[in-house]
Chain A
């Protein structure tokens, strides 16, 4: 597969290294001449110096025959334009954009970048999971729908404690998938009672995540 990586920061560098090791044909485009020189010494001639948002640079990179273009610069506006140029001018098969500001993720999706990677959200999620004693944790975003998997620890004060699953007034697009109670995992039915110290695993539409949080673990 021919893969173009735009942006030779930490992400671009290690990505290029990994993809080369996997045997792909890779070209890294980087603006900074010093970096290009250093990388060329390490990787050989798979580095192109230039601005990947320039059509002439993309043309020189052979964008027209690229299967994938991955834009991983530190600037969202550059990643967006690089992906759009690759797609609309060179018809690259698939464009992947790194999103630095999580707020831009929705815009990138609306503007037809094929895949967006919000590293800030990923890192936040991982850190959240590592902080002890948090009652509501965002575990994972599901890739192909705007769904998230969350984990909530039910306290004595939670309004849903001692309610059955059927009684809980869940937001429309939420499902309680499992309840972890001590060593057991319960697949709940409508009559399953929720008890304090239960850990609830739920699948929710991302727009309803906050509502679910307020319902299960009020402040």
Chain B
């Protein structure tokens, strides 16, 4: 599978390294060349310097033949816009976008992006560990976090 990952932070580098290790064709985009050092030493995919909201950068990363696009930079809006570029301009089948802000995450999920919201996910995990997953009030506690 051809996968383009935008953002080579801890999550991006890890996702890219694991997918690469599993035999997929991975290209990572970041605006900072130093970020590529986070990739595992045996990473065999490609790296492209630039911002993923720029069509030309996405094309250089092979977006036109990508099966999946993963947007995991630190900027919610950048991830959202890049995801929409991949989806509407390049017809990528599987577009996954990280959005920290739960309200924005909810809005764009409704608009058809596949979203991951670390804020709600991690809050739920922490609350589980504090009060136990069996607690009937857990759902109430995490809703709208």
Contact = CB atoms under 8 A, between A and B. Distances in A.
A182 B88 CA distance: 48
Contacts of B53: 76-77, 104
A81 B80 contact: yes
A54 B103 contact: yes
B104 A81 contact: yes
Contacts of B25: none
B98 interface: no
A88 B77 contact: no
A75 B81 CA distance: 11
Nearest to B99: A81
Interface residues of A, number: 21
Interface in B61-91: 75-78, 80-82, 84-85, 88-89
Contact of A101 (B54, B80, B84): B54
Interface of B: 53-56, 75-78, 80-82, 84-85, 88-89, 101, 103-104, 107, 110-111
A53 B88 contact: no
Contact of B77 (A56, A78, A106, A107): A78
Going nearest first, the 9 A-B pairs with the smallest beta carbon separation are A77-B81, A55-B103, A77-B77, A81-B77, A77-B78, A78-B77, A80-B81, A110-B88, A81-B80
Nearest to B80: A81
Given A84-B111, A85-B104, A77 B89 contact: no
A53 B107 contact: no
Given A76-B53, A77-B78, A80-B80, 12 more contacts: A53-B77, A55-B104, A76-B81, A77-B75, A81-B104, A84-B107, A84-B111, A89-B107, A103-B55, A106-B89, A111-B84, A111-B88
Contacts of A77: 53, 75, 77-78, 80-82
Contacts, number: 55
Contacts of A84: 107, 111
> Interface residues of A: mostly helix, strand, loop or mixed?
helix
B81 A81 contact: yes
A110 B87 CA distance: 11
A54 B78 contact: no
11 contacts: A53-B101, A75-B77, A77-B75, A78-B77, A81-B80, A81-B104, A84-B107, A84-B111, A88-B107, A107-B84, A110-B89
Contacts of A85: 104, 107
Nearest to A75: B77
Contact of A107 (B56, B78, B89): B89
Most buried by A among B81, B82, B104, B110: B81
Nearest to B73: A77
A107 B88 contact: yes
